[in-house]
Amino acid sequence: MQAIKHLLLVVAISSGAVAAELGPPKLTSATPLGGTPDGSFEAVLLGEHLEGATDLWSPSIGLQGEVVGVDRDDDTETDLLDVRFLLGARLVSGAHDVRVITAHGLSNALRLIVHAAPSVLEQAAAHDLAIDAQHLPVPSVVHGKVAEVGEVDFYSFSVQAGDELVFRTFSSATLDPGLAVFDLTGSWFDAHRPRRLAFADEPVEYPGEPVEAMLRYRFDQVGDYLIRVNGFWGHGGEDQSYALLINSDPDGRLESLAVEEAPRWTERTWRRPLDADRMEQLAGRTILSGAPSSMAVFDADAEVRSLPVETPAIQLPALIKGTIERPGDFDRVRFTVEEGDRLVFEIQTPQKSLPQLNPLLRIFDSDGVEAFTNIWSRVDSNGNVSKQIYPKTEYVFPRAGEFTLEIRDITVTYGDAEMEYRVIVRPWVPHLGEGRLDSDYVNLVAGKAQELSVVVDQEEGYDGLAAFSLEGLPAGVDFVTGATVEPEPPPALNAGKKERFTTNSRKVTFVLMPATDAPLTPRPTEVEVYARPVVDGEVGAKILMGKVLAMVVADAAPVAEEGDGEAAR
Amino acid sequence: MRHVNASFRLGFAALTLVLVAGNAADPEIVSLRIVPDRVELSGADASQQLLAIGETPEGETVDLTASAVWSAESPSIVELRDQARAVATADGEVRVAATFAGHSAKVDIHVSDSESHRAFSFPRDVVSIFTRRGCNGSGCHGGVKGKAGFKLSSNGIHPHRDYEWIVEGGEFQVLTDEPAGPREPRIDLDHPEASLLLHKATMETAHGGGLRFEKGSDDYRAVLEWIEAGAPYGEEALSQAAKLVRLESYPAKLIFKPGESHRVLVTAHFDDGHSEDFTHQVLYSVNDSAIAKVSGDGRIEANGLGETAVLIQALGRKTRVGVGVVGAPLDDYPETRSRNYIDDAVFSKLRRFNIAPSAHASDAEFLRRVCLDLTGRMPPPDRLVEFLADESPDKRDRVIEALLDSPEYVDYWTFRFADLFRVALFPVGINPKWTQAYYEWIRDAIERDRPYDQVARERIAAQGYSPASRHYLPYLVIPPAENMMAEEMRVFFGRRFDCAQCHDHPYEEWSQDQFWGLAAFFGPMFKLGGNPSSVIFDFPGGQEIAADVPSPRKLGVVHPRTKEAVQPALLDGSRIPFEETELPRRELAAWMTSHEFFAEAAVNRLWSYFYGRGLVDPVDDFRSTNPPTHPKLLEQLAEDFVQQGYRLKPLMRRIVQSNAYQRSSVPNETNRSDRVNYSHALPRALDAEILLDAIADVTGIAPRFKVGTNRGAWKGGTAPLGTRAVELKEGDLYPSAFFDAYGRPNRFSVPERDPSPKLAQALHLLAGETYTRGLWLPGARVYDLVQEGANDDSIIDALYLAGFARYPEDAERQAILEMIEATPSREQALQDLQWAILSSREFAENH
C-alpha cells in the first residue's frame, strides 16, 4: 500500500456547516484513463461529493496523485476534480485502483490503466468523419471520450502489408465501447466513404464478462486505415471515457488492457485453479484428523489415445485433465465407490469457459443409467423447467459399485484445443469456503457504530464453528459482533437437488465502534477479516476472508451503499 | 333424399390441352363434337355434364355449350337440365345432339338401374356440399381453429370427424379431439328444419360466414332430407367402399384470349374402378383472378394476359386446370436479344402469349433501378451524369460489378436478410447484444458471399451461444418445436407446412404425421441457464438429461392426435432415430440444403427482390396449386445457383445482366396488364428504410435514430452518427413513426412488407418531419445551392438528378420555371419543388 503524497490543495477546505451537507465521495470516471510508467498526466475525475478533496490514494506502489482543483457542472450535477498523476518507472502495466480522500472519507475505487505504449490524447477538434480522423502512431494508447450523443471517433494509422494489429479498449463504467476498422478505398457512391473491414464488440457478451471491445486484424495492403470508437448505447457525456490501445503483435504477445482481479479463494467459479494440491488447500480451511489424501493426476487425452477401447479406471481422489478437442468429443473414466461415499466433482475451465465451453459431467452406473450430472434442474415459479450446469457438484452414493464419469461439452458443435478442462473427483472435505465482504471500504465517524458484514460458506457439510477476527483496525476503533436477520428467499416450485450445487452460508456482522476521541486518519488503514474453523474444540489456522479499507473521519458521512465497494472500471 | 350412382367413360383422356378461340361472339367453326363422347349413367338421378366443343378454321377449339341447341331423342330416358346436364330418368339408350351454326354432334347415353337408389354416403352426399359451398375451406370452418367453435376437416378430408362435430356437437379446441364444454348436436332430429346447421347456412341465425345456400335450394333439401332420415353416416361409407382416389379435369390445360370462356368437366375416379361426373360437386377457385375467373359451376373466364391455375377440390382430393390467357398475334412483334437463359425463358414465353416486352430501359432508368436493387441507394447525381456520358458498350456490366463490390451492397443485403432472418430486439431474446451478434453473423455472410447452404445449415443446426442460435430464443424462451420447424421450412424451403400441424395439408401431400416428424428434429432442444445467458443444446439421444425434477410438461415432441412421442422423420418418410445421430437438426439441415426445394426457394426469393414478385408468388408459398410462372426458368436458376456454390452474387449478376431485367417500366398496349410475365419492370414502392435514406440523400439532411422503447420513450442515446436506416442493426430499438407509416415489419414473424399506400403516409407527406425538416437548413441541398448562387436551371437539374435520376423534360422545366416566377419567394418555390419531388410516386418507387 502506498500513501499518495499530499500536495497542493487549491480549493479551500469547507467549513463544518458545509461539510455537514456532503456525503461520501464517489468516483464515476476519469479522462484520460491512464498513462505510461515513469511519466505523469493530468486528468479530470468525475464524481459526486468531491468538494474538499484533499488527497488521492492507491494501493499500487509508484502511483501517486495530487489534487489540483475542483469544479462543478451544474447541468449534470457532477463534480470535476482536476488531478495530476505521477506514475513510477516500475509501475507495472495494467489496471490500478485509485481513490479520493475528502474530509468525509474515502471514495470508491476508480480504475486507471498503466500502459507501456505511448499515450495520445484525443484531439479537441471533431473527428467524427473519416476525413477528419486523428492520426495515431502504432503502438499507442489514445485516451478519449464519447462526449456527444451518438458520437463516433475516427482515428487513422499506418501499417505495412502483413501487419497484424490488435485493438483493445479500456473504458469508464458508463461506456460500452465498440470498434470497427475501415479502409479508405471509398465506394462507387462516395469516394470518401470508409469501407468497413472488421467490427468488434466484447469478445463474448455474457454476464460477468467484461464489455471491453477487442479486435485483431491482419492488413494485407500497406497504407492508412481507420479505427472507429463508438458507444453501444449511443450515449454521450463527459463520463464516457475510453482508452484505445493499438498494438502490433509480431510475437503473439500482447500488452493487455484487461483488468486482472486479485486472486481470492472461490469454489463456485469456473476459472478457479484446480491443482493436484487441492486436498492440501482444503485442509488449510478446516481441521483434519489426518494428513490429506494425495491426488492422482490423470491425462484424459493421453489415456484415451493409448486405450481407445476400454474406459480407463482411476483411483480417487483424482485430477483429470483433458480437452474437448473436436465437436462431440468426450472423455470417460471409471471409478469405484462404497455405499454412502460422499464425493465432490469440481470443474475448472482454464481457457475457454462459459458460454463457449459448457462442461457437462454425467455419471453413469454400471448399467449405463445416468445417476447424476452437474446440471441443477429446477422448476421456476412459472412452472418452467430450468437447467444450469455448475462447477461443483456434491453427491452421496446410495450404493457401492463402479461408475463412469463422462466429460463433454453440452453441445456437439464445438471443440478445439482451447476447450480445456480440469475435473477433480475427491471425497468431501467439510471446510470454510469463500468469504464475501459487503464493502471494500468503510468511513467511520468517531463515536458512531457502523456495520461490516461477511458471509462465509460452509462447504461440504461443514458443521463446526467459525471464529472471526479483525486485524489492523485504526487506533481508537473497537468492534463487537452483532446479528442481523436475513430474509428467507421465496421457495421455488421445485428446487430440485439444490443441496448438490449450493452450500450453506453464515453471515457475521461486525459492529465497528470508533471511540468519540478516536484519532482521525488522514489515510486509509487496511483491515483484514479472518475466520478460523473450530471443530470439536480445536481451533484451526486463520483464513483471510477479505480486506477492507477504513478511515476515521470527523463528519457524519453516510455509510457507503451496498455495492459501492465494487471498483468503478 | 337424392341418390346418385353413375358411371361412364369419358374418352377424352388424351385431350389435355385445349386452345380456345372466339366464343365471345358466335365463332366460325369447321366441326363440332360433344365431350364426353360416350356416357353411361347408372342409378337414380345419375347425371353427366355435356360440353359442345367446336373447332375453328385455325384449329383452335371453342366451348359452345351455352350457345348450342341441345336435344335428346328420347326425353323420357334423360332430361337435359340447365346447360346440357343430362340427368337419368329411365333405363335405356338415348342419343343426345348438339347443334351450332349448321354443325351438329351426337353422343349416346346409356342409362341403367334408374330405379335403384344408391346407398347414402355422408361424405359424398353431405360433405361435398360443405366443400362446394366453401364451408370447410381453410378460411372458414376448415381452418386450423375452425370458426366459432365449429370445426370441419379441411376440404372434407376427415368426414368421420365432420360427422361427429355435426351430429354430436361440441366446441372445437385446437390440437385435441376433445370438445370444450358440453356437446350439443348441430342438428335437431325431432325438428329437422330447426337444425342449427341449416339455420346458419341459410342465415336464419346470424352467421359470420354469410349465406351459404338458400332455403329450399337443392343443397338445402339434401341436408334437410339427411336429417329427416335420422342423419345416417351411410352403410356404404361406413364400409369404406368406393373411396374417391382421384379427380380429373377436362381440359387439363386451357389457353384462350381475354373475354373468352370455357367450362370444365370434372370426373371423380373411385377405388372400385368406377367414375362419376363431379362437375357440380366440387369447389372451384382460381389462383390469380387478374388472369382468369371461375364460376361455381366451373365456367372459366379469361381476364388478363398470363398464366394461372384453377383449383378443383372435393372430398379431400384436388386437381387443377392450367390456364393461359394469350393476346392477339402481333404483326410487328419486337425483336429481342437473349443475354442468358433468363432472357430465353422470359422472352419465349412473352412471344408465346403474344405479349410484347417493353423497350430496353434507358441508361438513367437502368442505373436508378440497378442501384436500388443491388444497394438500396439511388445513384449520386455526379455518378449518373458520368454514366450517361459514358459511351462504352460495357458500361452497364461495369457498373454492376462496382455495385456488387460496394460496401453499400453489404449494407443493403444484410438489411434484406436481417428482415428475412428476423433480426430485431424482441425476436432475438430481448437482448440487443444478441441481436447485434446475429446481425453481424449475417453481415459477415453477405460480405464474404458465403455459400447460402452453409449459412442455412449453421442457422438450422445452431447450438451453444452462437449468434445464429439466438434466433431460437425469442422473448428469451425456446419456442415450441413445431413453430421453429415451420419457420425454417418457410425460410429455406419456401413452403408453408403450418397447415399440416392440425390436419393433413389441404392442398398438398403433406400429412400431419410428416409435419410432426419434421417438428421432432427440434424436439430435443433446450436451453441451459437462465437469461440472459442461455445456451442452446439438444438432449443427447433425444433423452432428457438431469431429469431428476419432474417436468410439468413432457419434453420433446408429442403427436397431438396419438399422444405418442414422435421420432424425427424427413419428408420422404425416412426416420432419423435419436440414438443414431448426435444432433438431429444437423441431419435435417444437411437434408434440407441438398434438397431441390432449398435452391428453388432461395432463387425464387432472390428473384422477387429484383422483379417485385417471385416466379412462385408469394415466395414462401410453393405448392402444386401455386405453380411457378416459368417452371423451367426456376429449375435453371436453381441449377445455376448450385453450380455457383450457392453464392448470391453470381446469381444476382446473372439477373441484373439479363435483358429481361433491363426492360423499361413503361408498358405498351400488349403488356399493360401483365404482372406475371416480366414484360416490363413493375414499379415497386421503396421499403421504409430505403425511402428514408433516399430522402436523406436528396435533401442532404441525415436522420438521427434515437434509441427508445417500443412506446417511443427516448433512452438517451442514438445510433452512431452517420448510420443509415438500412444499417440499423435492431430496428425495434429505434422507434419511428415514419417506419411505422411506411410498413417496416416488426419481424415477430417472417416479415411480409406491405407496400400498399396508407393514410398515415399521406399525413406524413403533408406534415411529417421527414418531409419538412430538411428542406431549408444549412447543409440541405436546396439551401446550399441557393447560398452558392446557383441559378434556377441548375437547381432544377440537381433536384431531378438526385430524386429521379434523370434530367427534367422540357415541358417539366418550363412549368417549374413558371412556377418559380409566379411564386413571390424564390426560396419557397424551390422548397416546394423539392417537396413535390419527394412526394411523387416517381421518387418513392423503384421502377
CA distances A337 to A399, A401, A427, B124, B562, Å, are 8, 6, 10, 71, 44
Task: Tell if the CB–CB gap between A389 and B552 is shorter than 8 Å.
Answer: no
* d(CA A149, nearest CA chain B) in Å: 6
Contact B408, B380 (CB under 8 A): no
Output phi, psi for A526, to 5 deg.
Answer: -90, 120
Assign A381 a pLDDT band (cuts: 50, 70, 90).
confident
Record the cell numbers describing residue B118, joined without a space: 344408391
Measure the CA–CA gap between B153 and B140, rounded to whole angstroms: 10
CB-based contact A233 B583, cutoff 8 Å? no
User: How many residues can be counted in chain A?
Assistant: 569
Give Cα B282 distance to the centre of its chain. Answer: 22
d(CA A93, CA A117): 10
Give the span between the Cα atoms of B39 and B16, in whole angstroms: 19
> Is B148 in contact with B132 (CB distance < 8 Å)?
no
Q: Which among A188, A379, A388 has the least Cβ separation from residue B530?
A: A388
Q: What are the backbone dihedrals phi and psi of residue A411, each rounded to the nearest 5 degrees, phi first?
A: -95, 170
- At B502, which amino acid appears? C
CA distance B294 to chain A (A): 50
Residues 6+ apart with CB under 8 A from B651: B603, B606, B637, B640, B641, B644
Give dist(CA B439, CA B424) in Å, integer. 9
Cα dihedral A306, A311, A313, A316 in deg (nearest 10):
110
Helix axes B596-611, B481-493, angle to 10 degrees: 70
Pick from B437, B551, B720: which is nearest to A230 by CB? B720
Nearest-neighbour CA in chain B from A152: distance (Å) = 6
Decide if pLDDT at A162 tops 60. yes
Preferred mutation among A152, A410, A419, A494 to probe B, highest tally of B CBs within 10 A: A410
Return the sign of the alpha-carbon dihedral for residues B745, B747, B748, B749: positive
Non-local CB neighbours of B506 within 8 Å, separated by 6+ positions: B138, B142, B154, B155, B157, B313, B499
Pairing of strands B17-19, B253-256: parallel
Is A473 within 8 Å of A423 (Cβ atoms)? no
Say whether A321 sits in a helix, a strand or coil: strand
List, run by run, the mean pLDDT of 10-residue segments along chain B (847 residues): 32 42 67 94 90 90 92 89 90 95 94 84 87 83 82 82 89 74 89 93 88 90 92 71 84 90 93 90 88 92 88 86 90 94 97 94 98 98 98 98 98 97 88 94 98 98 96 89 95 88 65 91 93 90 89 81 89 89 96 97 98 95 87 97 98 98 96 91 96 96 86 80 94 89 89 83 87 84 95 97 97 97 95 95 96
Please give the sequence-ordered ranges of beta strands (E in DSSP) within B89-231, or none if there are none. Answer: 92-100, 103-112
Please, which residues have CB within 8 angstroms of residue B231's CB and are 6 or more apart in sequence? B166, B167, B187, B189
Give me the percent of chain A exceeding a pLDDT of 90: 80
Helices first, then strands: H and E counts in chain B: 28, 27
ipTM of the complex in this document: 0.92
Alpha carbon distances (Å) from B283 to B218, B247, B278, B510: 16, 12, 10, 21
| Angstrom distance (rounded) from CA B583 to CA A139 | 46
Which amino acid is located at B230 in the chain? Answer: G
Contact between chains at B432 and A201 (C-beta distance less than 8 A): no
The residues facing A342 across adjacent strands are: A396
Using the beta-carbon criterion (under 8 Å), do A233 and B551 form an inter-chain contact? no
Cis before B407? omega within 30? no
Q: Name residue, grid cell 389435355.
A: B16
Predicted confidence band of residue A11 (pLDDT cuts 50, 70, 90): very low
- Tell me the sheet residues that pair with B88: B78
Q: Is A490 exposed, middle or buried (0-12, 13-18, 19+ CB in 10 A)?
A: exposed
Q: Between chains, do A388 and B529 touch, taking CB under 8 Å as contact?
A: yes
Q: How far apart are CA B707 and CA B697, in angstroms?
A: 22
Cα(A285)–Cα(B454) distance, integer angstroms: 53
Q: Residue A473: CA atoms inside 13 Å, Cβ hemisphere, count?
A: 19
Name residue A395's beta-bridge partners: A343
Q: Are strands A110-114 and A34-35 parallel, antiparallel or unpaired?
A: parallel
Greatest distance between any 2 Cα atoms in chain A:
83
Please report, as a single letter, which amino acid is at residue A413: T
How far is residue B744's CA from residue B688's CA, in Å, rounded to a whole number? 6
Contact B437/A387, CB-based, under 8 Å? no
Partners of B408 on chain A (C-beta within 8 Å) are 187-189
Contacts of residue B90, defined as CB under 8 A and 6 or more positions apart, other chains included, come to B76, B77, B111, B114
Q: Sort out which chain A residues have CB atoms less than 8 A from B440's CB and list them.
A: 199
Average the pLDDT over each of A131-140, A409-418, B279-288 and give the range with the smallest value. Answer: B279-288
Average pLDDT value for chain A: 90
In angstroms, rounded to a whole number, what is the distance separating the alpha carbons of residues A263 and A275? 15
**Total Cβ atoms within 10 A of residue A551:** 23
Predicted local confidence at residue B502, as pLDDT: 67
Q: What is the value of pTM for the model shown?
A: 0.86
Residues 6+ apart with CB under 8 A from B289: B303
In three-state secondary structure terms, B149 is coil
Tally the residues of chain B: 847
Chain A residues whose beta carbon lies within 8 Å of the beta carbon of residue B477: 384
Strand ranges of the sheet holding B47-49, from the earlier edge strand across to the other edge:
B47-49, B85-88, B78-81
Amino acid occupying residue B199? H
Most A CBs within 10 Å: which of B465, B534, B709, B729, as the mutation test of the A interface?
A: B465
How many angstroms away from the CA of A236 is the closest CA of chain B? 7
Nearest CA in chain A to B378: A189
Which residues from A are below 8 Å from B530, CB to CB? 386, 388
Distance between CA atoms of residues A175 and A160, nearest Å: 32
Per the listing, cell 446481425 goes with B439
Q: How many angstroms separate the Cα of B175 from the Cα of each of B513, B552, B561? A: 13, 18, 7
How far, in Å, CA of A514 to CA of A527, rounded?
Answer: 14
Instruction: Tell me the count of A-B CB pairs closer than 8 A.
Output: 150
The per-residue b/e assignment along B347-362, b for 16 or more CB within 10 angstroms, e otherwise, is: bebbeebebbbbeebe
The bridge status of strand A214-218 relative to strand A164-171 is antiparallel
**Residues B720 and B697: beta-carbon distance below 8 Å:** no
CA dihedral B763, B764, B769, B771 (to 10 degrees): -110
* Most confident by average pLDDT, A271-285, A475-489, B229-243, B772-786: A271-285
d(CA B439, CA B442): 5
Per-residue pLDDT band for A20 (boundaries 50, 70, 90) equals: very low
Tell me which chain A residues have a C-beta less than 8 angstroms from the C-beta of B399.
188
Residues of chain A neighbouring B583 (CB-CB closer than 8 A) = 412-413
Which grid cell is B658? 439479363
Closest alpha carbon within chain A to B547: A377
The DSSP call for residue B91 is: S
Q: What is the mean pLDDT of residues A297-323?
A: 83
